[in-house]
Amino acid sequence: MKTDLPDGFPDFSGVEKAAARIRSRVHRTPVLTSRSLNEMAGAELFFKCENFQKVGAFKFRGATNAVLSLTEEEARRGVATHSSGNHAAALSLAARNRGIPAYIVMPRTAPAVKKAAVEGYGGNIVFCEPTLEARESTLQKVVEETGAVFIHPYNNPRVIYGQGTAALELLQEVPNLEAVLAPVGGGGLLSGTALTVRAVSPETRVYGAEPAGADDAYRSLHAGLIIPSVHPRTIADGLLTSLGSLTFPIIRELVNDIITVDDEEIVRAMRRVWERMKIIIEPSSAVPVAVALEKKLPVPARRIGIILSGGNVDLEQLPW
């Protein structure tokens, strides 16, 4: 498909190659439906269950694609990133699967459960002070000392391509979707989703779903430039980051709109999925569900695909 994105910018062919590259390494997650949620939404909902993906999140797709795309020489020195969340766990496991080291820069104040997850997948944690500056300088130092390749959590074409494979599987399995919804934080999942949907099912509308308390993507899209996320406040702690120089242009060009929901709506949607579907999703996953259940689509859709991004929840601290 022709777009106004610059030549050489990420496009759908990268998603297709990623799908072939990672196929044997990732789960082909199921697409579930729920009659009672359909009734609440007044539409047919098709849930792509990346909560069942390895490490419990779609992030494993992008990390695996990035790691498998490295040359032998690049790979030998390993990979590095700054993240304390799902990307850190995903990159650690993807690296271990290739037999190479992963260096994860993490604030020393990160929750013990997140440190344990990264260590459980074999990642090498490098602690830093909990400031943006310390994070970047520590990462820089790690890369210089080890020669590891920095794999950004979302502003990286290979990562974006990998994330787009979830939507590709969804579209292969469910025809005639009128809309596809994905949560948006840094925009890796949403931009990969948009590249895929525009190419495979051009009539299908693509929406980003964002917490009202972290609505920088919404404001960026409407302002026409990246507005950084400042002091975001939301239960959806996977969606706090700002868009990047790669994800923003793709989203601006290919996404129909960004729709926001407040935390009360997010928690309600999360609980409904737990109660009715008997599956565990994290708050970030509940954001697009809330958009559907609260009927916030600007153009009603009868068949809606929803990417459930992950299922990593602290079971000691549920939001109800």
Q: Which of 274, 294, 296, 303 binds its own copies (CB under 8 A)?
A: 274
* Beta carbon of residue 116, minimum distance to its own copies (angstroms, whole number): 12
In angstroms, rounded to a whole number, what is the distance separating the alpha carbons of residues 35 and 226?
39
What is the dihedral angle through the alpha carbons of 228, 233, 235, 240, rounded to the nearest 10 degrees? 20
Q: Is 271 in the site for its own copies (CB under 8 A)?
A: yes
Rounded distance between C-alpha atoms, residue 234 and residue 295, angstroms: 20
- Nearer of residues 56 and 288 to its own copies, judged by Cβ: 56
Query: Does residue 50 contact residue 288 with C-beta atoms inside 8 Å?
Result: no
Answer for the pair 69, 90: CB distance below 8 angstroms, yes or no: no
**Would you count residue 318 as binding its own copies (CB under 8 A)?**
yes
- Determine if 320 is a binding residue for its own copies (CB under 8 A): yes
**30 lies in the site for its own copies, by CB under 8 A:** yes
Q: C-beta of 121: minimal distance to its own copies in Å?
A: 11
Q: Does residue number 275 form part of the binding site for its own copies (CB under 8 A)?
A: yes
Where in 149-188 is the site for its own copies (CB under 8 A)? none
Stretch that binds its own copies, among 50-58, 72-80, 141-149, 193-201 (CB under 8 A): 50-58
List the x/- string, 281-300, binding to its own copies by CB under 8 A. Answer: x-------------------
**Is 60 exposed, middle or buried, given 0-12, 13-18 or 19+ CB atoms closer than 10 A?**
buried
* Residue 83 phi, psi (nearest 5): 180, 145
Site for its own copies in 51-110 (CB under 8 A): 51-52, 56
For residues 7 and 316, which CB has a smaller minimum distance to its own copies in the complex?
A: 316
- Rounded Cα distance, 211 and 218, in Å: 10
Q: Which of 119, 279, 296, 303 binds its own copies (CB under 8 A)?
A: 279
Nearest residue to 57 via CA among 178, 177, 168, 188: 188
| Of 8, 230, 316, 317, the one binding its own copies by CB under 8 A | 316
Task: Answer positive or negative: Cα dihedral of 51, 54, 55, 59.
Answer: negative
Count, residues in the chain? 320
Footprint of its own copies (CB under 8 A): 30, 51-52, 56, 271, 274-275, 277-281, 311, 315-316, 318, 320
